[in-house]
Amino acid sequence: MKWWVTFGFLLWLSAGFLGVPGPVSKLTLLVLAIMTLFGSRMQGLLGGFLVGLVEGAVIGSNIAAFAASRMIVGYILGSLRSLDFDANFIVAAVWAFLTCITAQILFRIGVPGGSFVEVALATLGAALLNAALAIPLYWLASKVFASNN
């Protein structure tokens, strides 16, 4: 229950940045990435669906493409987490970076459009920002879930 409450709160906070142009608009993917470090495969799948649903609804774009791409990423992250490795700050940063890149690639497969260079640069900027913000968010989440580890 603590996982879902924390996930919902962080998703609510990050959703406020979805309409802002630039890399801050991918903070919902950061929430998904960090929370899957503390969750299960099913939590990653359902969390990815909720992230996609919120992104599609707030941005006003193709909700199905957002939900599907984020669900796939959440499932992959949850599956990787089931390998039972020890997460740390570096893993969290790399995890967040790759989450953003993978989610955007999957989304663009479902909804092509825009200049490739513009989309790639925007995605790279968002991924770098998410990687930098993953370190303090991981620290915070590790304190919240310390009793579960």
Report the SS3 class of residue 148. helix
Kindly tell me the burial class for residue 34, based on how many C-beta atoms sit within 10 Å of its own C-beta (0-12, 13-18, 19 or more): buried
Write out the residue range of the structural domain in which residue 87 sits: 2-148
Task: Indicate the pTM of the whole model.
Answer: 0.85
DSSP string, 114-139: S-HHHHHHHHHHHHHHHHHHHHHHHH
**Tens digit of pLDDT at every position of the chain (149 positions):** 888 888 888 887 777 777 667 666 688 899 999 999 888 899 999 999 999 888 888 887 788 888 999 999 999 998 988 787 788 899 999 999 999 999 988 988 877 777 888 888 888 988 999 999 999 999 999 988 886 54
Work out how many domains the chain is built from and give that number.
Answer: 1
